[in-house]
Structure formats: structure tokens, C-alpha cells
């Protein structure tokens, strides 16, 4: 159970976490709610999973709202902010977590696959940042999720790395544009994390090899990443902005 200090860290704050029906996003939603934030749990397809996240938050004494919105479409990114403000009257925190993973050689990627990766991973962040530019409260916080693949140059991750590299630059420029309003914007770059998206299609040997890239010889758990996000959206991080924080156990 969070300490009393942690439970008060985000009291009266409203957070949107995109792609938060499962995996890292769901853990971030739980962690921010545990720190006192009212959380908008965003999903695209899995309504039951999003509602389960909300049910757990509400049962623990928090407040949450599940909102279906595909942030790769600008209209739906706007709807997501509309729903948050309509229910909670403001938005203080935006966590750009929604994303898709593609592991394939550049030579084998189709036009449709490349467009899909850029639409969700890059355009989705652009659309939510554009909404946040005018609708996030002064003193707000933005965290965009990238990946250590932008540093490691791994084979088969060209499209994914390109999409996340763009996310990093968008977030840095956004940080400068809104800084005078006391808003901070940072990037978190996880290494391998024990989620369904990471494990899918990987052999036990591959997972072990990637785990050994970290100094601790393991893959991260979702809560390892969520704790970093919690710091970056708290008041304590007010002088940290435009930065890319590696949460990879030293892997990158």
C-alpha cells in the first residue's frame, strides 16, 4: 500500500493515460490513482480490460473514467480531452503511452504496416500534445513513452525506432513551447518490460538474452516504469523538463 505522502502527491490532479487498459499503461493508471489523481483510462478495443482497471481504482477509493478513443485520429484525441474535462473539469497530467510494436526488417515492412506504426506511435502523440498545448492546466505535466530501441539500433526495429525517435523530438519541442506556463514535458525510455506486447512471439532464449542486457539481469516489471512516471508528473520534478529518462536497468 502506498505511504500517506505518496497517496497525497497528486491529490486534486486529473490524469489522462493513453493506452491504459493493460500492460505498462494500466500500471501507470493504478500508480497515479494510488497517489491521489483522478485518472482517465483510455482504450481503443478492450473495453472490459479498461473497465477492470477503473473498477480496481474505484474499489481502492480512487476516481476514474474509461474512455474509448483512438488517438491516431485527431478527432478522437479531442474527444478524449473533452471527456476528461467534461467529467473532472480539468486536465493536469498527460501520459502518452498508447503504442504498437513492429519487429521486422525494413526490407519486409509493407506500406500499410509502416503507416500503422507512425499513425499510432507518432501521430497519436502529436494529436494529444496539440490538445494539451491549449487544454492542459498551467503547471501541468506531460510524459511520453519512448523506447531504448532509439539508442540501441537493434535490427528489425527500424519502423518502431523511427516512430519513437519522432516522439522524443515532438516532446522536447513541446516542453520548450509551453515551459513559461510551468508545464514540464519529458520522455521515459523503457528497456524490455514483462508485458504481453514484449513477450509475444519471443522465444525463452531471446527473452533471457534481452534480460541480460540490464545490469540486474532481468526484464523490468511494469511497476518499475510506473514509478519513474510518477516522479516526473509530481511537483518534485518541476525543474526537470525536455529530458529523456532511460528506465532500462542500465541497458541503454
For residue 137, what are the CA distances in angstroms to 30, 62, 131, 163? 22, 21, 11, 27
Of 12, 41, 11, whose CA–CA distance to 26 is shortest? Answer: 41
Of 146, 185, 144, whose CA–CA distance to 164 is shortest? Answer: 146
Report the phi/psi class of residue 46: left, alpha or beta, with left for phi > 0 and alpha for psi in -120 to 50.
beta
Residue 3 makes CB contacts below 8 A (sequence gap 6+) with none
pLDDT surpassing 80 at residue 4: no
Handedness of CA 77, 173, 188, 90 (dihedral sign): negative
For residue 181, what are the CA distances in angstroms to 69, 184, 239? 27, 9, 13
First vs last C-alpha separation in the chain: 31
For residue 224, what is its C-alpha cell? 518499475
Name the CATH superfamily for 4-247.
Answer: NAD(P)-binding Rossmann-like Domain (3.40.50.720)
Calculate mean pLDDT across residues 25-50.
98
pLDDT surpassing 70 at residue 6: no
Confidence of residue 7 (pLDDT cuts 50, 70, 90): low
Question: What is the number of alpha carbons within 13 Å of residue 46 lying toward its C-beta?
Answer: 14
Summarised one tens digit per residue, pLDDT across range 64-109 is 999 999 999 999 999 999 999 999 999 999 999 999 999 999 999 9
Calculate mean pLDDT across residues 8-12.
92
Residue 45 makes CB contacts below 8 A (sequence gap 6+) with none
Percent of the chain with pLDDT over 70: 97
Tell me the whole-structure pTM to 2 decimals.
Answer: 0.94
Q: Which residues are catalytic?
A: 160
Amino acid at each position: 500500500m502506498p505511504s500517506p505522502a505518496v497517496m497525497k502527491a497528486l491529490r486534486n490532479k486529473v490524469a489522462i493515460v493513453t493506452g491504459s487498459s493493460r500492460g505498462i499503461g494500466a500500471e501507470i493508471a493504478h500508480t497515479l490513482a494510488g497517489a491521489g489523481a483522478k485518472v482517465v483510462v483510455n482504450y481503443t478495443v478492450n473495453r472490459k480490460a479498461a473497465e477492470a482497471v477503473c473498477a480496481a481504482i474505484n474499489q481502492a477509493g480512487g476516481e476514474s473514467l474509461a474512455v474509448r478513443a483512438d488517438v491516431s485520429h485527431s478527432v478522437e484525441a479531442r474527444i478524449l480531452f473533452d471527456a476528461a474535462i467534461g467529467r473532472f473539469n480539468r486536465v493536469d497530467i498527460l501520459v502518452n503511452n498508447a503504442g504498437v510494436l513492429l519487429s521486422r526488417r525494413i526490407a519486409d515492412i509493407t506500406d500499410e504496416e509502416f503507416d500503422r506504426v507512425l499513425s499510432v506511435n507518432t501521430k497519436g502523440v502529436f494529436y494529444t500534445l496539440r490538445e494539451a498545448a491549449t487544454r492542459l492546466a498551467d503547471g501541468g505535466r506531460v510524459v511520453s513513452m519512448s523506447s531504448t530501441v532509439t539508442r540501441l539500433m537493434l535490427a528489425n526495429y527500424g519502423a518502431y525506432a523511427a516512430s519513437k525517435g519522432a516522439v522524443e523530438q515532438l516532446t522536447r519541442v513541446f516542453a520548450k513551447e509551453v515551459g513559461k506556463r510551468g508545464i514540464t514535458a519529458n520522455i521515459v525510455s523503457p528497456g524490455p518490460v514483462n508485458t504481453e506486447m514484449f513477450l509475444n512471439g519471443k522465444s525463452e532464449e531471446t527473452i533471457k538474452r534481452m534480460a541480460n542486457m540490464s545490469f540486474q539481469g532481468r526484464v523490468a516489471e511494469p511497476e518499475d516504469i510506473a514509478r519513474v512516471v510518477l516522479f516526473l508528473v509530481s511537483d518534485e520534478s518541476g525543474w526537470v523538463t525536455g529530458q529523456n529518462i532511460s528506465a532500462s536497468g542500465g541497458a541503454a
